[in-house]
Structure 1
Amino acid sequence: MNWTQMRDCYGDVDRVPELLEQVALKDDAEAWNELGHRLCLEHDLVFPASFAALPRLVHLASRSAQARGLAGTIMQRAAGHHGCDDLLADCADAIAEFRELLDRHLQSQPVDYLTSFRDLLAAKEQYHWSAVLGDFTDDFYHLVCPHCAVEVTIAIGHYGRYSSIRDWNLGDVDRRHLQPAIPEELSETGRWMHETAVRDGQEALANGITYLFGKAECPRCTSVFSIADEYTSANLPS
């Protein structure tokens, strides 16, 4: 790797490779903290050094939660306008390895299950779901009805599973029950998400996914539409 062109968030080109060598030799919390700041600055930014470091982080991820988490953060931000598409393409083998590693990690039912699930979604280029997927205790998705263009709030949580019109004074009004998808009829991303959650004993997550990939009724025009299709159409990175 030619690090002379791989600037980090401070514009430096030498500090990241030094830190990678340091954490590879010793699990140094201070070094990991600095590495995280240099590779993944706040405001969802990543830099050339972020992708240059990704293969090394994936290599360390099997034995380091810090490496796994930092690699996951980089993947979640890979959808942004970072100007490093060529570097991201060069990481294809490392990303494939990272997907396999995360899948094995999920099967151990770790305490960071949802975070790792979202990281795996990003590694599969499902950036829009990676960015918003919650544990379905208090999840809201905002869509535009494809038929009448009214803004519809989709709620999936302990308080209810419904579509509604949000009134900032009255709350969610004119609620309509969601229609969950039949698991056997799910396809592609929805099927994978549901089957993975079921495999790993994540019942609440699996159940919520059936609603996320189910259908909603527009409270304004009463038309029925696919929640996932409309959310994907509006939020899938170009």
Structure 2
Amino acid sequence: MVNWTQTHDCYGDADRVPALLELVELEDNTEAWKELGYRLVLEHDLVFPAGFAALPRLMRLAARSARARGLAGTVLRRAAGHHGCDDLLADCADAIAEFRTLLDRHLRSRPADYLATFLDSLAAMEEYHWAAVLGDFTDDFYHLACPHCTAEVTIAIGDHGRYSAIRDWHLGDVDRRGLRPASSGEFSGIGRWMYETAVRDGHGALADGIAHLFGKAECPRCASVFNIADEYTSANRPVLR
């Protein structure tokens, strides 16, 4: 049982949260969902302790409520932040495992919110880094330092090309070098899950983008070759507390 007197939402005391949860469990109340979301999650980064306290109930409700599924995923994607709620999150381990299964079933149905569900699945696997930065590869850019000469390299994966380049303030991306996508047998770890899931569900554009993201790039400055995902992850993975 959650002791709501020992947690808080965006207004302070979280006594309103359990009442809102009871309301949305009884009916799909639009205004109640809006208030609940606002109380639990602030903008893009911060989750209040009440958000983690509400997770098990949201996840149970997710089997029959798209709004519950979306709000639970929103909370999970921010779990790498400095929220001070590790104990509350640890108490959700079993619920999160069940939530992952539910999300996978939803992915297999090829829903309209496929990418959002894909990102929520990554967060449920504690892959918060990729859950935060992965796009749909229509116009995605990743910035990293070459591991050999430390030049700032821009990686583009989108409709305008798949290349590494040096970004110039006036000229744009110059000295472009084509990326070398990973083959199906070269994936491992979370990259394999991402690629194989997108292929399984018929999302060819997403799978192709992931293949390039987990492939290799050539530095335009020193011509060394490096793994894009490894270098980007090393530079940007959040520090968990």
Provide TM-score, normalisation by structure 1: 0.98
Shift of 1:13: 2.1
Residues 72-151 of structure 1 aligned to structure 2 (within 5 Å): 72-151=73-152
RMSD: 0.8
Using the TM superposition, give the Cα deviation of residue 159 of structure 1 relative to its aligned residue in structure 2, in angstroms: 0.9
Cα shift at 1:18: 0.5
Shift of 1:184: 1.4
**2:175 maps to 1:174:** yes
Matched residue count: 238
Shift of 1:217: 0.5
Identity %: 76
Distance 1:57 1:168 in 2: 46
CA contact (8 A) 2:76 2:120 kept: yes
Letter in 2 for 1:153: T
SS in 2 for 1:175: strand
Q: CA deviation at 1:44?
A: 1.1
**Partners of 2:166 and 2:176 within 8 A in 1:** yes
Q: Which amino acid aligns with 2:98?
A: E
How far has the Cα of 1:161 moved from its partner?
A: 0.3
Structure 1 position 43, deviation (Å): 4.2
Q: Which residue of 2 aligns with 1:26?
A: 27
Q: What secondary structure does 1:225 align onto?
A: strand
Q: In the alignment, does 2:71 pair up with 1:70?
A: yes
- 1:15 aligns to what? 16
Structure 2 CA distance for partners of 1:158 and 1:43, relative to 1, 3 Å = closer
The 2-side partners of 1:232 and 1:85 are apart by 23
Unaligned stretches of 5+ in structure 2? none
> Contact 2:5/2:13 (CA < 8 Å) preserved in 1?
no
Partner of 2:165 in structure 1?
164
User: Residue type of the partner of 1:111?
Assistant: A
Query: How does the TM-score come out when normalised to structure 2?
Result: 0.97
Match of 1:61?
Answer: 62
User: How many angstroms apart in 2 are the aligned matches of 1:6 and 1:91?
Assistant: 16
Q: Report whether the alignment pairs 1:49 with 2:50.
A: yes
2-structure distance, mates of 1:182, 1:201: 17
Distance in 2 between the 1:108 and 1:43 partners? 27
How far apart in 1 are the matches of 2:136 and 2:44? 23
Aligned residue for 1:196?
197
- Would the alpha carbon gap of residues 232 and 185 (structure 1) be closer, same or farther in structure 2, given more than 3 Å must change? same
Deviation at 1:208, TM superposition (A): 0.8
Q: For 2:225 and 2:151, how far apart are their aligned partners in 1? A: 13
**Distance in 2 separating the partners of 1:200 and 1:118:** 15
**Deviation at residue 141 of structure 1 after TM alignment:** 0.4
Cα distance in structure 2, aligned partners of 1:184 and 1:162: 22
Q: Say which SS state the counterpart of residue 18 (structure 2) adopts.
A: helix
Unmatched segments (≥5 aa) in structure 1: none
Shift of 1:234: 1.1
Cα distance, 1:236 vs structure 2? 1.5
